[in-house]
Amino acid sequence: MKQTRTSTFLLAAIVVGSLSMQSCKKSSGSKDISRATGWKINDKEGGFQYNSDFKEQETAPGLVFIEGGTFTKGKVQDDVMHDWNNTPTTQHVQSFYMDETEVTNVMYLEYLDYLKSVYPPEDPKYTNIYVGALPDTLVWRNRLGYNETMTNNYLRHPAYAEYPVVGVNWIQATQFAEWRTDRVNEAMLEREGYLAEDVKYRAMNGEIEGNFSTETYLNAPKSVYGGQIDTLMGKNVKDSVPSFAKRSSGILMPAYRLPTETEWEYAAAALVGTREYNNYRGRKKYPWEGDYTRNGQRVGRGDQLANFKQGKGDYGGIAGWSDDGADITAPVMSYKPNDLGLYDMAGNVAEWVADVYRPIVDDEISDFNYYRGNIFMKKAIGEDGKVMVLPEGEIVYDTLPNGKIVAVNLPGEVKMVAVDEEDTYLRTNFSKSDNRGYRDGDPGSSRFFDRFSDEEGEESDKQMYNSPIHKVERDEEGKLVREYDKSNYRTSLINDEVRVYKGGSWRDRAYWLDPAQRRYMPQYMATDYIGFRCAMSRVGSKSKGKNKTIRGKKVKG
């Protein structure tokens, strides 16, 4: 009898305890109840609206997830150039996404087609938008070589559709990334019912006045599509709250952009393939394992693992036994991917990265997401206290040092201005807008080095990096006048408009296939051997997947 009573008491205690735990879990862990106030979240009557069901960032079109980590940047096998600009530094990279392949001709043609439809070049006020985005097809020409076939066909002929685009300068590459961001987010909003079906095509075909910009949508949504967005809302949100997606909705993607040099090198090396527990086994000279450029496996043994120049006059081997299957560029995915699933991270074309070039990487100030090139901007606010959006027909152009005209801001985009003292006062992490030359301190880079010089401008002979400054002006008739800088006081080819490019190309020897090698070129110049791929930051967790491990404990993602 005593045992029965004890059992009954224990059973009752377990039931009460279980109900209490469930009640407690329900009240404290419910996604629809605020843990801060106890108020309802996402209530139909109003109040705080938030995407409490968000799990993790969706992989955007064309991208591959790259889990971040620690690695040694600048570790090269050889430095036969004696540049001394590859000093090894330990860096940590946050998780991010990168294009599986280089941007191809057909991808870039889609961009050109869009610009031509939305901003017809036959309209004088739009002409330079389309013309400024065109790749320079004349990069194929050679004084002592016949390459007119590529000059006339490489960009547009379908035979080259899946070949990497070339002739694109750094500025054009960044503008392509901005355009891509807006088109992907426009499609996302349509998919989720925030925009009516086929709005994006109607806007492209001119049926709707105005255009879509992600930043404008987030900051001044009533200004999108020429102020007509209220009539273009999707069925799922017409009668609900909110009417517009926000960052807190978790629908809009972060911006496509060029990868930083650190991200690119980390992704190209793909050291995850040599990881053993919490260490890397050995060293990798190329994006693949081993010290050789030829395939050592039974299938394809002896074939080259990348598209590069074998030796003088040898771009692809003899007929009938081509080493790499290409003489110029090759179609993307022609060679095996690295251990992260990325193609052509060595050879084919070298690639622009976001960084401004300097010989030395300043790891003393930053060893986390290292990047030189920050120019901090903010949204311009009008007298009415609202974000300023460029009206239809208003375009901001810039003339590059080579005379090429590019559109900096398009109609419907948010106007941006440099941060000022209001944003920098008493801050410790930054003190001005333009930080490209921050902590420049390499005395050997200039004949007239003066660390504490306050002199600025063309005439100063003490600037750290004072490369030639060519002038492009317009005469009274509006024609461009190009003036070469013939000064003998210039001491460097480096300035704040010189960008890094990484990886070997079809024109390069195997030496440049090492992911740590780095070169530079003015951001307004283009070649037949430099292309690009895009990257995207990851928001949220470092790892990807439903289950993540935190100190040995598995938690749901």
Q: Name the DSSP letter for residue 375.
A: B
Q: How far is CA 257 from CA 32, 217, 260, 268, 381, in A?
A: 35, 19, 9, 17, 25
User: What was the pLDDT predicted at 544?
Assistant: 83
Q: Is the dihedral of CA 421, 423, 425, 427 positive or negative?
A: negative
Alpha helices in 134-169 (DSSP H): 148-153
User: What was the pLDDT predicted at 213?
Assistant: 94
Q: Which helix (H) or strand (E) holds 115?
A: helix 105-118
State which amino acid sits at residue 388.
M
User: What was the pLDDT predicted at 479?
Assistant: 81
* pLDDT (tens digit per residue) in 506-523: 999 888 999 999 999 999
Report CA 265 to chain centroid distance, whole Å: 14
Going by C-beta distance under 8 Å and a sequence separation of 6 or more, which residues neighbour residue 293? 286, 304, 305, 306, 308, 510, 513
Checking if the pLDDT of 501 tops 50, the result is yes
* pLDDT (tens digit per residue) in 355-378: 999 988 887 888 999 999 999 999
Checking if the pLDDT of 288 tops 80, the result is no
- Coil vs helix vs strand at 19: helix
Going by C-beta distance under 8 Å and a sequence separation of 6 or more, which residues neighbour residue 461? 448, 489, 491
- Band of the pLDDT at 261, cuts 50, 70, 90? very high
User: What was the pLDDT predicted at 446?
Assistant: 46
State which amino acid sits at residue 2.
K
Question: Which tokens belong to 64?
Answer: 């591959």
Tokens 């003339």 found at? 399
Using CA atoms, how far apart are residues 395 and 28, in angstroms rounded to an integer? 52
Report CA 404 to chain centroid distance, whole Å: 23
For residues 84 and 152, is the Cβ–Cβ distance under 8 A? Answer: no
Using CA atoms, how far apart are residues 420 and 377, in angstroms rounded to an integer? 9
Using CA atoms, how far apart are residues 81 and 89, in angstroms rounded to an integer? 19
Checking if the pLDDT of 168 tops 60, the result is yes
Checking if the pLDDT of 557 tops 70, the result is no
Using CA atoms, how far apart are residues 261 and 354, in angstroms rounded to an integer? 7
**Farthest CA pair distance, the chain:** 112
State which amino acid sits at residue 5.
R
User: What was the pLDDT predicted at 209?
Assistant: 84
- Average pLDDT of span 11-40: 62
Tokens 């990886």 found at? 503
Checking if the pLDDT of 106 tops 60, the result is yes
For residues 101 and 534, is the Cβ–Cβ distance under 8 A? Answer: no
Q: Name the DSSP letter for residue 317.
A: E
pTM of the model: 0.88
Checking if the pLDDT of 438 tops 90, the result is no
State which amino acid sits at residue 406.
V
- Coil vs helix vs strand at 520: strand
Mean pLDDT of the chain: 84
Q: Which residue has better confidence, 384 or 282?
A: 384
Q: Which residue has better confidence, 61 or 232?
A: 61
- Band of the pLDDT at 458, cuts 50, 70, 90? very low
For residues 494 and 467, is the Cβ–Cβ distance under 8 A? Answer: yes
* pLDDT (tens digit per residue) in 187-213: 999 999 999 989 999 999 888 888 899
Could you please state the CATH topology (level 3) that the domain comprising 62-182+252-373+500-557 is classified under.
Answer: paralog of FGE (formylglycine-generating enzyme) (3.90.1580)
Checking if the pLDDT of 502 tops 50, the result is yes
Within the chain, which residue ranges are assigned CATH 3.90.1580.10?
Answer: 62-182+252-373+500-557
Q: How many CA atoms lie within 13 A of 78 on its CB side?
A: 11
Checking if the pLDDT of 295 tops 70, the result is no
Using CA atoms, how far apart are residues 118 and 136, in angstroms rounded to an integer? 22
Using CA atoms, how far apart are residues 50 and 248, in angstroms rounded to an integer? 6
- Band of the pLDDT at 306, cuts 50, 70, 90? confident
